[in-house]
Amino acid sequence: MLELNIKDETSPLKAVVLGTAASSGPVPKPEAAYDPKSLQHILAGTYPDEADMVREMDGFEAVLKKHGARVFRPEVIADCNQIFSRDIAFVVDDKLVEANILPDRDREFEAIVHVLEQVGPGQLLVPPDEVHVEGGDVMPWKEFLFVGTYTAPDYPRYITARTNRAAVEYLREAFPNREVRAFELRKHNKDPRKNALHLDCCFQPVGNDLAILHRDSFLNPADFEWLRAYFGPDNILEITTEEMYRMFSNVFSISPEVVVSEQGFTRLNDWLESRGLTVERIPYGEVGKQGGLLRCSTLPLARG
**Torsion angles phi and psi, residue 127, rounded to 5:** -65, 155
Least confident of 109-113, 183-187, 228-232, 254-258: 109-113
* Helix, strand, coil percentages, rounded to 5, for the chain: 35, 25, 40
Residue 240 lies in a domain: yes
Can you tell me the distance from the alpha carbon of 196 to that of 116, in angstroms, rounded to the nearest whole number? 29
**AA letter at 35:** D
Residue 7 lies in a domain: no
Can you tell me the distance from the alpha carbon of 263 to that of 67, in angstroms, rounded to the nearest whole number? 18
Can you tell me the distance from the alpha carbon of 34 to that of 37, in angstroms, rounded to the nearest whole number? 9
The secondary structure element, H or E, covering residue 182 is strand 179-184
Give the HSE-up count for residue 134: Cα atoms under 13 Å, Cβ half-sphere.
29
SS3 label, residue 40: helix
Residue 6 lies in a domain: no
Q: What is the pTM assigned to this prediction?
A: 0.96
Query: By C-alpha distance, which of 226, 249, 252 is closest to 238?
Result: 249
Q: Does residue 117 register a pLDDT over 70?
A: yes
Residue 271 lies in a domain: yes
Query: By C-alpha distance, which of 61, 115, 2 is closest to 252?
Result: 61
Contact (Cβ atoms closer than 8 angstroms) between residue 180 and residue 147: yes
Q: How many percent of the chain have pLDDT more than 70?
A: 99
Query: By C-alpha distance, which of 30, 150, 8 is closest to 93?
Result: 8
179-198 mean pLDDT: 97
Q: Does residue 104 register a pLDDT over 70?
A: no
| Residue 103 pLDDT class (50, 70, 90 cuts) | low
Mean pLDDT of the chain: 96
Contact (Cβ atoms closer than 8 angstroms) between residue 11 and residue 303: yes
Q: Does residue 105 register a pLDDT over 90?
A: no
pLDDT at 22: 96
pLDDT digits (tens, 9 = 90+) for 251-285: 999 999 999 999 999 999 999 999 999 999 999 99
Residue 3 lies in a domain: no
Range of the domain at 187: 13-303
pLDDT at 146: 98
Contact (Cβ atoms closer than 8 angstroms) between residue 132 and residue 164: yes
Cα 83 to the center of its chain, rounded Å: 11
Domain count along the chain? 1
The CATH number covering residue 97 comes to 3.75.10.10
pLDDT digits (tens, 9 = 90+) for 203-254: 999 999 999 999 999 999 999 999 999 999 999 999 999 999 999 999 999 9
Can you tell me the distance from the alpha carbon of 42 to that of 57, in angstroms, rounded to the nearest whole number? 21
pLDDT digits (tens, 9 = 90+) for 7-60: 999 999 999 999 999 999 899 999 888 899 999 999 999 999 999 999 999 999
pLDDT at 121: 82
Can you tell me the distance from the alpha carbon of 141 to that of 8, in angstroms, rounded to the nearest whole number? 4
The residues that bridge with 133 in the sheet, in sequence order, are 100
Contact (Cβ atoms closer than 8 angstroms) between residue 57 and residue 287: yes
Can you tell me the distance from the alpha carbon of 140 to that of 12, in angstroms, rounded to the nearest whole number? 14
| Residue 152 pLDDT class (50, 70, 90 cuts) | very high
Contact (Cβ atoms closer than 8 angstroms) between residue 196 and residue 185: yes
Contact (Cβ atoms closer than 8 angstroms) between residue 206 and residue 274: no
| Residue 100 pLDDT class (50, 70, 90 cuts) | confident
Q: Does residue 102 register a pLDDT over 70?
A: no
pLDDT at 180: 98
